[in-house]
Structure 1
Amino acid sequence: MTYNILITDELSAQAITLLENAPDVTFDTVYRPSQDKLQEIIGDYDAVIIRSSVKIDKAVLANAAKLKVVGRGGVGVDNIDIGTASLRGIVVLNTPGANTIATAEHTVAMLLALCRNIPQADHSLRDHQWTRSKFLGVQLYRKTLGIVGLGRIGGQVARRAQSFGMTVLAYDPFINDEVARELKVNLVELDELFARS
């Protein structure tokens, strides 16, 4: 049996290669289809791979006679009617943790860009107006970072910030003191986090 998969959002080259090499799999790409278009075509597919731009709602699922799996590239599944999918025997999968490190690294990259005025310096350089003294920025060393939410991503951001010599404060009502100690993070209330970081 060959399984026909619909891909509605861009995937990495590695993911496409995996699908190309998978036995008994064919796939089509229809990026960001309208809800009407999705309702029209979904009946031809055994599985659909989405990210966040496409909604798999009750109307789409009503037309999904062959659909067995909804795969969500990412953590959240708020764009999928899980209740209706479950009633129809359709499995909903997501990829928690798949982008945790990448997201934490991107967060630190944005922090560095902000502290070192990198976007402004780049713009100035491209305009042939380089004034180095305007773009010195500040160090992260011995600064205090506040993190709201100390889940997978927040914990990884904390580790990376500590490698720069930063003190890390966190607010997360669902994390206990033991987890905070393991991460070497000081749990504080939200108002204190904003005041000190």
Structure 2
Amino acid sequence: MSDIVITEFMDDTPVADLRARHSVCFDPGLVDDRKALLEAVAPAVAIIVRNRTQVDAELLDAAPALRVVGRLGVGLDNIDLDACQRRGIRVLPATGANDVAVAEYVICAALMLRRAAYTASAQVAAGAWPRAELIGHEVAGHTLGLVGFGGIARRVAVRAAALGMTIVAHDPMLAADDPCWAAHAVTPVSFDDLLAEADVISLHVPLVETTRHLIDEHAIGRMKSTAVVINSARGGVIDDAALAAALRTGRIAGAAIDVFEDEPLPADSVYGGFDNVLLTPHIAGVTVQANQRVSRVTVDNVLGALDEVRP
């Protein structure tokens, strides 16, 4: 019987701080064993999850003593926030802890997709020499479009500026005269203008009703044929079928996709068979260093919140 249940992987070191003050069940296998998960959370006052554990009505009903949900990351679409609020349960994301990891992922993907020179290892090793086919574009002097301009997007902007890119962004939550635009040398634009101007489009929005399938057939139709799309935000922000069709017909030049509506992808995924697509398993925000930071911030958040709710 444990006070705190950890359902997915995290750095081991901060867990010792939890164990010094609480009984802890640290079992990353719980995310794939729903029955065991529901049994484990029955006495819990806190749970720590990543993005795969569904903190829904069923789990909350199974955990009547629950007071805190620690999120190893920032996305909250796997957590029923309304139900948690009704029950007085605090939901605490590790805001900012993996920003650098995601920003570096975006910049790396932008360079790889624009240059288009990194897909021929097997051919070169076999004696082929496809130089003409692998002549791509530089990022310097071209435009990066950031959809959403929160903490991660701002870190991307700093790195893109250092590479000589022009940066535009669309974020309806920020006023046009917000000082953050000038501070990062970023021009605020409408969504349609961003789609039309950007050579690299990177998504940095949460998954809510207004952003679901934000990148659909209509949006893709506004993009340059040489544009590339990077999604390290949430899978449902892109209409996968529409993007795959655009990639297949050459309507856009490439994509890097780290997050998907269904994870893992099915064996017959629409993204199979492309040589201009980079697919990664929801790993943009997870490096050794980011995992350490996220784990530390989450443990500190949970311990602080539990101290506040103690009688």
TM-score after normalising by structure 1: 0.84
More helix by share: 1
Q: Distance in 2 between matches of 1:82 and 1:141?
A: 42
Residue of structure 1 in register with 2:79 after alignment: 80
Tell me the amino acid that sits aligned with residue 182 of structure 1. A
Q: Distance in 1 between matches of 2:43 and 2:155?
A: 41
2:26 to 21, 24, 28: 28
Structure 2 residue matching 1:27: 3-state secondary structure: strand
Residue of structure 1 in register with 2:66 after alignment: 67
Alignment of 1:8-157 (within 5 A): 8-11=7-10, 15-22=11-18, 23-25=20-22, 26-31=24-29, 32-157=31-156
Q: Distance in 2 between matches of 1:5 and 1:127?
A: 53
Residue of structure 1 in register with 2:184 after alignment: 183
Tell me the amino acid that sits aligned with residue 43 of structure 1. A
Tell me the amino acid that sits aligned with residue 136 of structure 2. G
Structure 1 20/122 Cα, relative in aligned 2: closer, same or farther at 3 Å? farther
Q: CA deviation at 1:76?
A: 2.2
Q: CA deviation at 1:48?
A: 1.4
Contact 1:149 1:172 in 2 (8 A): yes
Structure 1 133/49 Cα, relative in aligned 2: closer, same or farther at 3 Å? same
Q: CA deviation at 1:44?
A: 4.0
Q: CA deviation at 1:164?
A: 0.7
Q: CA deviation at 1:21?
A: 5.0
Tell me the amino acid that sits aligned with residue 187 of structure 1. P
Residue of structure 2 in register with 1:168 after alignment: 167
Structure 1 134/81 Cα, relative in aligned 2: closer, same or farther at 3 Å? same
Structure 1 127/172 Cα, relative in aligned 2: closer, same or farther at 3 Å? farther
Structure 1 residue matching 2:169: 3-state secondary structure: strand
Structure 2 residue matching 1:120: 3-state secondary structure: coil
Contact 1:3 1:24 in 2 (8 A): no
Q: CA deviation at 1:106?
A: 0.5
Q: Distance in 1 between matches of 2:25 and 2:38?
A: 17
Q: Which has the higher contact order (CA 8 A, sep 6+)?
A: 2
User: 1:135-177: CA deviations, max 9, x gaps?
Assistant: 2322111111122111112211111111011111122222233
Number of residue pairs matched by the alignment: 193
Tell me the amino acid that sits aligned with residue 96 of structure 1. T
Structure 1 123/160 Cα, relative in aligned 2: closer, same or farther at 3 Å? farther
Contact 2:2 2:43 in 1 (8 A): no
Contact 2:68 2:92 in 1 (8 A): yes
Structure 1 residue matching 2:25: 3-state secondary structure: strand
Q: CA deviation at 1:34?
A: 4.1
Q: CA deviation at 1:130?
A: 4.0
Tell me the amino acid that sits aligned with residue 142 of structure 1. G
Q: CA deviation at 1:190?
A: 2.0
Contact 2:117 2:135 in 1 (8 A): no
User: 1:38-60: CA deviations, max 9, x gaps?
Assistant: 22221143321111111111221
Structure 2 residue matching 1:53: 3-state secondary structure: coil
Q: Distance in 1 between matches of 2:133 and 2:155?
A: 32
Tell me the amino acid that sits aligned with residue 40 of structure 2. I
TM-score after normalising by structure 2: 0.56
Any gaps of 5 or more consecutive residues in structure 1?
none
Deviates more, 1:124-133 or 1:162-171: 124-133
Structure 2 residue matching 1:16: 3-state secondary structure: coil
Q: CA deviation at 1:107?
A: 0.4
